Each structure stands twice: as structure tokens, then as C-alpha cells.
Amino acid sequence: MKKIVFTVVMIIAAVIFILPVIATLALSFWNGGEVSAEGYSDLLFNCFVFYPMFWNSVIYAAVITAVQLVVIIPCAFAFSQAKFKGKGLLFTFYIVLMMMPLQVTVLPNYIGLRDLGLLNTAWGIILPMIFSPFGVVVMHQYMKSTDSAIIEATRLETNSIFRIILTAVVPQLRVCIFAVVLFVFADCWNMVEQPMLFLNDDSLKTMSVFIVNAADYTGHVLFPASVIFIVPVFLLYLFFSDSLEKGLTFGEIS
């Protein structure tokens, strides 16, 4: 009996939550008072800027996610295994950096990128995001739950850090890595201010910028673009969701 009540409540909750998404989907087929796929045809056939922007989003997010993994896994490993003074403080600093709101960091980032000559280039977007503290913090949390025994065992076999990480840590944390990939990809996929402010060329901008400026393009492309926008990340989620079921554990915060 309880189970039925719970189930019903759950379904209602799920429906409420997905309502806006369904509304977006519905509105993408709604054009000037009637059902039509004109929005999609406007977007796919008339908006030539859409395609490069879409691929930019994909490329930036993919590159950022891939390289970030290479950076944060060793870093999180170090946080959990190495012993040195000030480790806690350093990590807290990472957390504080993670919290900085965008309005604050925009100007110094802009000046920094300008001094490095990275303004209006793809690398100006990719490089800062690769080193975003968010990934390190999340990865570190997962890293705590690794089985030290396996790591000790591997240490006896080899001295190379890379081998240790690759053979001992990564297989254990495979699922966690999937989760991190999902979060980081979604984060990059949604970023809007950086492309808008640090890029001038339309050919380098991302789809999130396209949607913000959707009113400037002919036709009703806002909702169709929103729908298409959701698709890649949702696919990624579906791809990983089974693995996510199987297990993610967290260690302590510090």
C-alpha cells in the first residue's frame, strides 16, 4: 500500500519536474498559433551560423572534458595519497576559488587572456576551463573512497605513478569518472559568458551564445534550438546512467 502511494507521489513529482521540458518541446513545434516544424526548418536550413556554433560547443566541451581528466585525476590522487603540510588549506582554497561568481572573475580573466594573447581564440575558452577547480574538488571526493589496499599492492609492483593510477585507481573509479565527465561536460556545454565576452568572431562562438541571441535570427528558432541543445548531454547521461547505478561512493570532505 505504502509503495503504491510512494509510486504515485514519485510519478507526480517527476511529471511536475519534466513539465517545463515538455513545454519547451511542445513550443518548438508551435509557430504563430499552429503546429508546424517551421522552427526546425528555419534553424537547420536558414541559420547557417548554427552549424559551426553547434560543433564549437561539442569540440570545446569534449576537449575540455578529456584534458581535464588527465589533469585532475593525478591531482586528486596526490591530494589523497601525498602527505604534506597545508594540504587541507590548499584544498579549501580550491573550494573558495570554485565559488567565485562570474562577474568578479570576468575582468581579471579578460586582462589575463589579453596579456597572454588568447583573446578571440578557442584556446582562450578551453584553457581556463581545463583548470577549473570544480573538477578537482569533485574528483577528490570520489578518490577518498578508493581501496588503499589495491594501491599498496600496485606500489609494490611498480614505481611509476602513471601505472599506479592507471591500473589501480582508474578501474575502481570508473563510475566516478563517468559522473565527473557528465558534470564537467554539462558545465562546459552551458557556459555562456565566456564565449560572449572573450570571443569576437561568430565562427568561434558556441551554441549557448546562439540561444541567448536567438531573437536576432529569422524565424522562431529559440525553442527548436533549445531542444537540440539538450540532446547531446542527455545522450551522454543515458550512456552513463547504467554505470552510475552501479555505484558511486563518497569519502569525507577533507
Partner 1 sequence: MKKLKRLSFNTKCKLCLLPSLAGTLLFFVIPYFRVLYYSVIDNQFRRNFVFLDNYIETVQNEYFLLALLNSLILIAVCVPVLIILALLISLFLSFGIRKLKALRASFVLPMVIPTAGIVLIWRTVFTDTSTPLPIYLLFIWKNIGICIVLLTAALTAADRSVYEAAKLDGAGSWTLHRKITLPMIAPTILFSVLLSIVNSFRIFKESYLFYGTNYPPDHSYTLQYFMNNNFLRLDYQSLATSAVLTSAVVFLIVLCGIFIQRRYNR
Partner 2 sequence: MKKFIVCLLAAALAVTSVSCSADKSEEEMTFEVDSDEFTYENITTGVGSLDVDENGTLYAVETYIIEKEPYDEVYDELHAYDLNGVHIKKLETGGAALNTVSYHDSTLYSIGCSNGEQTLSIYSYDLRTDEFSVFAKTSVSSSSTVVTNSVIADGKLWFTVEDFGRELEGCPYDNAVFTYQGTVLYSCDLQSGKTERSDIEYPVTVSTAADGSLCVYAVDENGTYFMTGEEKYYMDLGYVYAFAVISDKNDFIFTSSLKYDTLNIGTFGSDDYAEFRPNTRCSAKTLRYRGGCTFYTNSYGNGLDKAGAVQRIKNSSFVAGNRTINLISPGFIMASPFGCGYSMNSKELTDTEFALTVLSQSPDYDICLLNSKLGVSDSIRDKGTFYPLNEVEGVSEYLDKCFPYVKEAALTSDGEIWMLPIAVDIDVIMYNEALCEKYGLDFNNDMTLEELILNAKTANESDKSSGYAIHGYLLNTNLLLQYMRNNISFDTEEFRDLARYVKEEANYSEGEDYFKLYTDSMNQLYEGNSDGFLFSMLNDSLTQLEYGFSDKVRACPMPSVTSDGRSVATCVMLCVNPASDNLSSVLDYITALTEYLSANNSSMLFSEHDENVGQYVKDLYGIYSDASICFNISEDIYRQDYEAYLSGSTDLDGFITEADRKLSAYLNE
Q: Restricting to residues 87-116, name those near partner 2 by CB under 8 A.
A: 106-107, 110-111, 114
Residues contacting partner 2: total by CB under 8 A: 7
- Choose the contact partner of 247 out of partner 1, partner 2, none; CB within 5 to 8 A by kind: partner 1
Please state the closest distance from residue 105 (CB atom) to partner 2, in A. Answer: 12
3-state secondary structure of 33: coil
**Which residue, 111 or 153, is less far from partner 2 as judged by CB?**
111
**Which residue, 204 or 221, is less far from partner 1 as judged by CB?**
221
Our finding on whether 250 is near partner 1 (CB under 8 A) is: yes
| CB-neighbour burial class of residue 94 (10 A; exposed 0-12, middle 13-18, buried 19+) | middle
The site string for partner 1 over 162-201 (x = CB under 8 A, - otherwise) reads: -------------x---x--xx--x--xx-x---------
- Choose the contact partner of 114 out of partner 2, partner 1, none; CB within 5 to 8 A by kind: partner 2
Our finding on whether 50 is near partner 1 (CB under 8 A) is: no
Closest CA to 135 of 187, 80, 190: 187
Our finding on whether 35 is near partner 1 (CB under 8 A) is: no
Quote the CA–CA distance of 164 and 30 in Å, as a whole number: 55
The 3 state secondary structure assigned to 177-212 is HHHHHHHHHHHHHHCCHHHHHHCCCHHHCCHHHHHH
Residues 233, 189: contact at Cβ < 8 Å?
Answer: yes
- Choose the contact partner of 197 out of partner 2, partner 1, none; CB within 5 to 8 A by kind: partner 2
Write out the DSSP string of 86-152. THHHHHHHHHHHHH--HHHHHHHHHHHHHHHT-TTSHHHHHHHHHT-HHHHHHHHHHHTTS-HHHHH
Residues 149-208 that bind partner 2 (CB under 8 A): 196-197
**Which residue, 74 or 128, is less far from partner 2 as judged by CB?**
128
In one-letter notation, the amino acid at residue 118 is L
**Residue of 43, 64, 177, 211 that binds partner 1 (CB under 8 A):** 211
Question: Per DSSP, what are the bridge partners of residue 30?
Answer: 35
The site string for partner 1 over 136-165 (x = CB under 8 A, - otherwise) reads: x----x-------------x---x-x----
Please state the closest distance from residue 131 (CB atom) to partner 1, in A. Answer: 3
**C-alpha grid cell for residue 89?**
588549506
Quote the CA–CA distance of 30 and 28 in Å, as a whole number: 5
